[in-house]
Amino acid sequence: MTQAEIDGRFWLRIDGSSFAGNGRIQLLEQIQATGSISAAARAMRMSYKAAWDAVDAMNNLAEQPLVIRQAGGPHGGGTALTEYGLQVIRHYRAAEHEHRMFMRLMRENLEKRGLDDAPDSWNLMRRLAMRTSARNQFQGKVIGYREGAVNDVVTVDIGDGIEVSTVLTHETAEQMDLLRRGREVQVLIKASFVILCEAAEDVRYSARNRLCGTVRRVQPGAVNAEVTLALAAGRTLTAIVTMDALDEGWLHEGARVCALVKAPHVVLAVTD
């Protein structure tokens, strides 16, 4: 006789993207307890980079930053949770409790009915748990669009006035209901599509999107390096650059840099 067990993890998702699970919530709790992301990473037995990647992912998807850096202080500053971040923890833990109760009832139900009577919707639930390979994911709202004979330009605000535009076919824009101000969408940008340049005012460029910020983290590799920019509203943008570019010296932590992204390289996603 087939023996079945029911188990599950509770995740908060924002428009189809994983936002926070138990691991990320524990990381936030450790940051709150220690005031340091490096100490929190050690407590979680994860790398400093992995900890910041998790924080960046949450900050980019949330309406407000959950974690901020604090400058100054007797120890040179640290990392702290915002009130919004504390609220996320409280809401997650309350919802997690309800999820545990639900899973307990499901296990009891399976023990009574058996695997053959398990609902077909379980397969659907598994298919809905999709992920994306795009390194940069943002939550935003459509603030403008321009229709053309074949292609349309759609502009999205991803927070604090940061605008990103994309070009897509008119048919696709209509099917996804993107020609509507206030439409909530998810913006996806692969790190390899992001080109970095020095933040000079007189630079001319052909890319439609220019996002400027400060280099927050540089992770060198054997061939390429990963560079993370801190934008406004707690948003971050990650780019992949060659080691030759890194050796030139202008891509260092604290440097003012701009990211160029061609409109066709910006992908919009919706959940309905």
Q: Per residue in 113-160, pLDDT tens?
A: 554 444 444 443 343 344 566 789 898 999 999 999 889 999 999 988
Q: pTM above 0.75?
A: no
Residue type, 172: T
Pick 62 or 213 by higher pLDDT.
Answer: 213
Give the per-residue pLDDT at 111: 62
Distance CA 68, CA 70 (A): 6
Q: In order of start, what are the domains of the chain with their CATH numbers?
A: 1-131 (1.10.10.10), 132-272 (2.40.50.100)
The CA–CA distances, whole Å, from 54 to 50, 106, 133 equal: 6, 31, 15
267 membership: H or E segment, kind and range: strand 267-269
Alpha-carbon distance values, 154 to 42, 209, 259 (Å) = 42, 12, 19
The winner for highest mean pLDDT among 11-25, 47-61, 76-90, 112-126 is 47-61
3-state DSSP assignment of residue 88: helix
CA-CA-CA-CA torsion sign (90, 31, 58, 160): positive
The identity of residue 230, as a single letter, is: A
User: How high is the pLDDT of residue 73?
Assistant: 47
Q: Residue 197: phi, psi to the nearest 5?
A: -145, 165
